[in-house]
Amino acid sequence: MFKVSYLAFALISGGLFSAPYILDSYGLGLMVGIASYVGLATAWSIFSGPTRYISLATVAFYGIGAYTMAVLGEHLAYPAILLVSLLIGAVLSLIVGVATLRLAGVYFVIFSFGLTELVVQLVTWFEVNVTGELGRYIFLELETRHIYWMLLSIAIFTLLISWGIKRSRIGLALRVIGDDEMVAKHSGIHITNIKLILFALSASIMTLIGAVQAPRWVYVEPSIVFNPVVSFLTVIMALFGGSNRLFGPVFGVIPLFLLFEWLSANFPNHYSIILGILFIGIVFVLPRGVLAFFEENYAKISSRIGRNTAEGDIK
Amino acid sequence: MLMTTLMIGLVLGGTYSLAALGMTMQYGVARIMNLAYGELMITASFATFVLFSTFEINPLLALPAVATGGFILSYVIYGLLMSPLAKRASDAGALEVDSILVTFGLLFLLQGILLVIFGADFTSYTFLNTPVEIFGVVLAANRLIALVAAVVLGGGLYLFINNSRWGRNLRAVATNPENAPLVGIDLERTARTAFAVGGMLAALAGVIVSMFQTFTATAGVIFTMKALIVVIMGGVGNFMGALLSGLILGLVEALVSSYIDPGLTLAAVYLIFLVILLWRPQGLYGKG
C-alpha cells in the first residue's frame, strides 16, 4: 500500500516536470501559480498546522525574497542570490520568532499582520528617501518554464520536509503541543525551540519562493510584492485543504487557485465579495478542511453500507 | 509650531480613541476580535455621505440614524455568524481563531459591496469646515467634534460601565464568562448586546471621521489596525485605557510627521505597537 503511494508520488512529480512541453503559455502560467501556492501553503502548514498559530506574515517573507532578487539581480550570480535570500529569510524569521512566539492566539495573528505592514512602510520609506525611486526592474534571462521547474522543485521539497517532520520525533512532539501545551511542557518537550525551528523553516521556504518568482513581475514595487492578499490566500487555501494533513494544502490550492483565477477574469468587480463568502463558508462548513470532511463522510457512508449488509446477513 | 503639533495630535488621537471604544467593547465582552470593524466604520462614512450629498441631511442629524443602523447590523451579524461559532467552540482559543477567520471573510464581503456600489475613488464632502481658534492654534470645527465626542463617549462609557447594573453584567462576563451565568446573567444576550453596542460605536466613529477626512472603500483596514493598536495598548476592555492610548497614538503620529519624517508615521505606529505587544501584551493600563 505504502509502496504504491511512493510510486504514485514519484510518477506524478515526474509528470509535472514535463508540463512545459505540453501546455501553452497560459496553462504554464497557471501551473506557476499553483506550484508557488502549493509551496507557500505547505510551508505555512508546517508551522501553523500543528501549533494552530494563524500567521499572516507569509507575504512579509515572500516579499523580502522578491526584493532581495530585485536589489541583487544585477550584482550577483543567480544561485548566490537565492542563497542570500534563503539566509535573509532564516535570520529574520529567527529574530521575529524569538520575539513573538510567546504571544498566542489573536495577539500572534495581529502581530504577524502588523509586522508585514511595518516591513512595507520601511521598504517604501527606504526606496523613496535613500534610493530615490520606488520601483525596480528585474532583467534576468529566465523563461517561465525555468521558474516553473524551480517552483515545482521547491513545492515537492517542501512536501517531503513536511512528510519527514510528521514521521519524526518532532512530529510526535508537535501533535502533543497542538493537543495541549501544558501536557507537552510537563513531558519535557522544548516547546519554544521546536516552534522556533519550524517557524524559521517555514519562513525561509516562503522567502525562497518569493525570490524565485520575482522575475515574473519584471517591475517590482512594495505594493506589488507585499500584497497582503498573498497572505490571506495562503491561509484560506491551507485551511480549505486541511493544514493538519500532508496533502491537505495541495487539495486546497488546486481548486481554490483555479477558482480565484476564473473569478478575477470573469468577475473582477465581485472578486472580493466572493472571497469573503468563501472565507466564511469554509470556517462554517469545513472547519478541519476538505480532506478531513471527505474522510469523515466516507467513514460514515461506508459504515452505513456495512451495517446494511450486516443486517441483511441476519435476515 | 509645537503647540500646533500637539493640538493636531490630540484631535487625531480623539478619532483613534473613538474608533477603539467599540472594538474594546466587542473584544473585551463578546470575545470577538472583529477584523471587519474598520469596514463597518467606512460603511457608516458612506451612508453619511449619501445622506448628506443626495438628501441634504446634516451629518450631525444623520448621526443617530446611522448609529442605530450600526447597532442593528452588528446585532444581526452576531446572531447569524458569531453565535453559532460561540456555541460550537470548545474553548476560548477556538472561538478566537474562528472569529478572526469569519470576520476576515466579513471584511472582504463588506469591502467588496462598497467597491461595487461606490468604486475605488476617494470620497469626501465639506461640512462645518469653519476655523476655530484654541490656545492660539486654528483648527477646523469638524475635527474638534471628534475629540469632544471621544472624550464624552469614553468618559461616559467608563462611568456607565462602572456604575450601572448593565455595566456590572458586562464586567462580570468580561472577567469571568464561565461563572457569570451562575449569578443569573444571560451570557449569550450580554455578548450579543455588547457586540451590537460596539458596532454602534464603530458607526458613530465612521460618521464623525467622514466629516473631515477623505475615505475610500478600501480604507477600513487602516482603521481596524489603528483601533486594534489602541485597544491592545490600552488593555482589552479598558475604556479609559482606550481613551488615553488613542490620544498618545495621535500625539506620536503628529510629532513624528512634523519633526522626523511624514513618510515614517505609519512605520512609527507599527513599531510602537509591536514593542508594546512584546513588552506588555496585557496593555499599558492592564493588570497582569
User: Model confidence over B114-169: pLDDT tens digits?
Assistant: 988 888 778 777 777 677 777 777 777 777 777 787 778 777 877 877 788 877 77
For residue A297, which amino acid is it?
Answer: N
A279 contacts chain B (CB < 8 A) = yes
Cell of A262: 476564473
A105 contacts chain B (CB < 8 A) = yes
Residue B180 pLDDT grade (very low, low, confident, very high; cuts 50, 70, 90): confident
The distance of Cα B250 from the centroid of its chain, to the nearest Å, equals 14
Which residues does B203 contact at the CB level (< 8 Å), separation at least 6? B40, B41, B43, B44, B66, B67, B69, B70, B71, B73
Contact A167, A51 (CB under 8 A): no
Q: Look over chain B and give the mean of its residue pLDDT values, rounded to a whole number.
A: 82
Residue A314 pLDDT grade (very low, low, confident, very high; cuts 50, 70, 90): very low
Cell of B110: 463588506
A115 contacts chain B (CB < 8 A) = yes
Max distance between CA atoms of chain B, in angstroms, equals 57
* H-type alpha helices, B181-219: 187-212
* H-type alpha helices, B56-118: 59-77, 83-88, 92-118
A191 contacts chain B (CB < 8 A) = no
Please state the φ and ψ torsions of residue A289, each to the nearest 5 degrees: 100, 160
Q: Chain A, 238-257: which have a CB under 8 Å from a chain B CB?
A: 239
A271 contacts chain B (CB < 8 A) = yes
The span from the CA of B21 to the CA of B142, in Å, is 20
The distance of Cα A66 from the centroid of its chain, to the nearest Å, equals 15
Residue A34 pLDDT grade (very low, low, confident, very high; cuts 50, 70, 90): very high
Contact B198, B70 (CB under 8 A): no
What is the structure's pLDDT at B286? 60
Which residue from A minimizes the CA distance to B224? A110
- For chain A, report the end-to-end CA distance as a whole number of angstroms: 35
Which residue from A minimizes the CA distance to B262? A125
For residue B134, which amino acid is it?
Answer: I
The span from the CA of A68 to the CA of A82, in Å, is 9
Contact A269 B115 (CB under 8 A): yes
pLDDT tens digit string along B209-260? 888 878 888 888 888 888 888 888 888 777 788 888 888 888 888 888 888 8
Cell of B121: 475613488
For residue A307, which amino acid is it?
Answer: R
The span from the CA of B57 to the CA of B285, in Å, is 40
Burial of A75 (0-12, 13-18, 19+ CB in 10 A): exposed
Query: For the ranges A107-111, A194-198, B135-139, which has the lowest average pLDDT?
Result: B135-139
Cell of A182: 501544558
In chain B, what are the helix, strand and coil shares in percent, each to the nearest 5?
A: 75, 5, 20
Helix (H) or strand (E) holding A89: helix A78-100
Please state the φ and ψ torsions of residue B138, each to the nearest 5 degrees: -90, 125
Q: What is the pTM of this model?
A: 0.81
Which residues does A140 contact at the CB level (< 8 Å), separation at least 6? A73, A78, A215
Model ipTM value: 0.78
pLDDT higher at A221 or A204: A204
The span from the CA of A280 to the CA of A286, in Å, is 10
Contact B19, B251 (CB under 8 A): no
pLDDT tens digit string along A117-135? 888 888 888 888 777 777 7
The span from the CA of B240 to the CA of B153, in Å, is 11
Which residue from B minimizes the CA distance to A54? B97
What is the structure's pLDDT at A58? 92
Contact B41, B111 (CB under 8 A): no
Q: Locate cell 446573567: which residue? A: B185
Burial of A80 (0-12, 13-18, 19+ CB in 10 A): exposed
Contact B116, A270 (CB under 8 A): yes
